[in-house]
Amino acid sequence: MKIWLDGGLQDIEFARVSVLDHGLTVGDGIFETVKAVHGRLFALTRHLDRLARSARGLGLPEPDLDEVRHACAAVLDANPMALGRLRITYTGGVSPLGSDRGDHGPTLVVALGETTRRADSTAVITVPWTRNERGALTGLKTTSYAENVVALARAHEQGASEALFANTVGQLCEGTGSNVFVVLDGEIHTPPVASGCLAGITRALVVEWTGARETDLPLDVLESADELFLTSTLRDVQAVHRVDTRELSGTPGPVTAKAMRAFDERAGDDLDP
């Protein structure tokens, strides 16, 4: 396995990032996960646009997107696989032991791991912790992910693959690594970005391709929605068959199934929508 680090490909066994890298010491970094299908990336332009937005929001130097594209292509060529998770990580680089950044320059890592297609439906839970819709990192895809690690571990303990958060005012927000959609009276709704959720790439495409509405939703909508589904880079569109103790249909509902088909068809027609 080869990864991209410090301007070139390196064997993963020997690739090393400094123990003083700001991404390690204080979580000062951003990342993107891109789906790779037989060596081809899906929606790479949208992912790179969000990478640049996250860098600006965190105050990191603007990433060289041409270099990132070149790195992605090199890693894909070096590691052929049917379905992969390509991870672009961009950090503040070697810095002092503290919150101040150093002048060493950013670190860029591009790595690829093999994955499998997700199941058509999954179980989720809600957690008591909240997303801060007014936080300094709101809407940025940063490497400060410990909150998600804790919530996802609780989900796994309860036989679920995802945990859903409300925001500080009790509105439905997002999952640890996904966006959430609900079906009410045949219409698809999803929380707006103002709720504090990440502006997911798959979320945006589903909104465009299905006509879903961005709506402020109370967390307890999960108790009454006709159907629920999640979206993310690796889930695409995935139905929810259980939320906490509430059981829904074991197969995707009619509106969710239509959204799944629409996404698969449109994504198949255009790899960089």
- In this predicted model, what pLDDT tens digit does every residue of 63-108 receive, in sequence order? 999 999 999 999 999 999 999 999 999 999 999 999 999 999 999 9
**What are the two backbone dihedrals, phi and then psi, of residue 143, each rounded to the nearest 5 degrees?**
-80, 0
**What are the two backbone dihedrals, phi and then psi, of residue 171, each rounded to the nearest 5 degrees?**
-90, 150
What's CA 231's distance to the chain center, in Å? 9
Give dist(CA 266, CA 237) in Å, integer. 12
Question: pLDDT tens for residues 227-243?
Answer: 999 999 999 999 999 99
State pTM to two decimals: 0.96
Q: Is 265 helix (H, G, I), strand (E, B) or coil?
A: helix
**pLDDT-based confidence at residue 143 (cuts at 50, 70, 90):** very high
Token pair belonging to 181: 């959609």
**What are the two backbone dihedrals, phi and then psi, of residue 13, each rounded to the nearest 5 degrees?**
-65, -25
First vs last C-alpha separation in the chain = 29
Which one-letter DSSP state was computed for residue 60? Answer: P
Helix or strand (DSSP H, E) at 81: none
Q: What is the pLDDT of residue 78?
A: 97
Give dist(CA 62, CA 45) in Å, integer. 15
Question: pLDDT tens for residues 152-176?
Answer: 999 999 999 999 999 999 999 999 9
Give dist(CA 122, CA 127) in Å, integer. 17
- Residue 97: CB atoms within 10 A of its CB come to 10
Mean pLDDT of the chain: 97
Give dist(CA 121, CA 61) in Å, integer. 40
Percent of the chain with pLDDT over 70: 100
Token pair belonging to 231: 């979206």
pLDDT at 213 over 90: yes
Which one-letter DSSP state was computed for residue 18? Answer: -
Q: Which residues neighbour 47 within 8 Å (Cβ) at sequence distance 6 or greater?
A: 32, 34, 88, 201
**pLDDT-based confidence at residue 194 (cuts at 50, 70, 90):** very high
Percent of the chain with pLDDT over 90: 99
Q: What is the pLDDT of residue 261?
A: 97
Rama region for 111: left / alpha / beta (φ>0; ψ in -120 to 50; rest): beta
What's CA 116's distance to the chain center, in Å? 16
The 10 Å CB-count burial string (b at 16+, else e) for 161-186 is bbbbbbbeeebbbbbbbbbbbbbbee
**pLDDT-based confidence at residue 217 (cuts at 50, 70, 90):** very high
Please say whether the beta carbons of 87 and 70 come within 8 A: no
Give dist(CA 156, CA 218) in Å, integer. 24
Q: What is the pLDDT of residue 28?
A: 97
pLDDT at 6 over 90: no
Token pair belonging to 102: 């150093």
